[in-house]
Every structure is written in structure tokens, then in C-alpha cells.
Structure 1
């Protein structure tokens, strides 16, 4: 992960947010969950600077999209009790893998917050597409 690529990814998420009619915050983190790039659109919710990096961190730490975590973190779920602290367990976070196979190493993540869950996921996937086609 480098800054130039991370900036292109945040721009892709912002462009998708304009198409979606959402005002978002977007964060890109490296494989250690460290912030590389962040953008907040005018009018985005005040929680975005916390939630977007949190979703990106969670996607890296758990090596899966945060949209998969709601059922897993619910009472009785495999990861019950995990939500909270740095872990943000609802849609909008996507891990970035070193290759195309699902078994490849996670080398970063993207997190989006500010729209509906569906809008956040769409914006995160737009950023991820820049990663896949780099």
C-alpha cells in the first residue's frame, strides 16, 4: 500500500458516493491497520472520522468484509461480544488482498461511513476495484 494508490482509492469511493447521493468519510489502511489516506466529504456525518477507519481496521484484523459480521457478532454468534472498541461490525469495510484468490494475504483495508449500509458497501467496493486493477 502506498499513498498514491490509497489516494486514488479514496477518490473512487467519493465519486461513487456522489453517484449514490451520499456524503461519506473514507479511510484506507495498510496491513497493520495504520491510516494511509482519509477523506471526508462536506456534509458527512461527524461519526465518519471514527467509523470509516474502524471499518477498515476491522476488515484487516478479521480478514473479511465487515458486512459479514452482523450475524457473527450477534448473541450466540461465533464472534459474539466482539463489536466495540476498534471493531466496527457493520457494512462498509473491505479487506484488500495481495492477489485474486481468497486465500491470499490481507495487505490493507478500506472503510466507508456516512451513507446507508448499502451505499457504504458500494463506495468501499468502488475503492477496492481500484486496488484490484492497479
Structure 2
């Protein structure tokens, strides 16, 4: 049997606080979602002024990133580059803004952000993950 790291509540709170701080520092109204390696929701917060739809999109991005073990930008790029058949894949978050959390080469979850430009969503997600000091 192998032993693997898992996200604990204190990790989730660190990620969420750092992501929220990044969003607020830039005056970005977003929803922030954190999931475990199985795509199960561990955290969801919608900042003041964030569109209601962002609270649905952020978890979808996080779930897709966790289950695919990659940034969701890869899926969006595939579709934008003409691989339209990928639209039939059983995922609902193929938009940039989902970033996996990797600890010692092990995928332990992901952060999904929605509400601003895609690159800004990623910036917020990565700021949250950076708080873990990996």
C-alpha cells in the first residue's frame, strides 16, 4: 500500500484565505472553490459582487482540474483549436481557471475560480495554492 498526502481543513483555509486576499487586492469579485482529488467539494465562497453563475462554474472548474490532473486551460485550448468532439466529454468545467494542487508529485485536489478574465481566475487560484508553500 502507498501512503499519500491529503488536504486537511487547515490547508483548505490557507488556500481560501490567500485566494480571497489576491482577489480583494485586485478588486475582483469571484467565487473560489476547492475540491479533493476525487472532485468532492471542500470549500466554496462567493465574494461580494460575484455573479451567481460563478458559484456554479468555480466548482466545475475545480472538479475538472482534480479529475483530469491538469489545468483546465488545456481542455479549453483543445476545443478552441478545433477538437470540438471534446465538447461531448463528460466534464462540465472545460474553461480556464481550474488549477490542480500537487504535493510531492501527488494530485491532492484543485482550486477553481470564476468571475473575472480566465488568466485572472488562474492568478487567484495559484495565489491560493502558493500559500501552502509547496
SS in 2 for 1:53: helix
What do the CA deviations read for 1:47-79 (whole angstroms, capped 9, x no partner)?
122111111100011111112221223474296
How many residues get paired?
A: 128
TM-score when normalising by structure 1: 0.85
Equivalence for 2:70: 64
C-alpha separation in 2, matches of 1:79 and 1:4: 40
TM-score when normalising by structure 2: 0.85
SS in 2 for 1:80: helix
Equivalence for 1:95: 100
Report deviation, 1:88: 1.0
Equivalence for 1:123: 124
RMSD across aligned C-alpha pairs, in angstroms?
A: 2.0
Equivalence for 2:16: 10
Q: What residue ranges of structure 2 are gaps of 5+ in the alignment?
A: 1-6
C-alpha separation in 1, matches of 2:91 and 2:56: 9
Q: Which runs of 4+ in 1 moved over 6 A?
A: none
Q: What residue ranges of structure 1 are gaps of 5+ in the alignment?
A: none
Report deviation, 1:96: 0.8
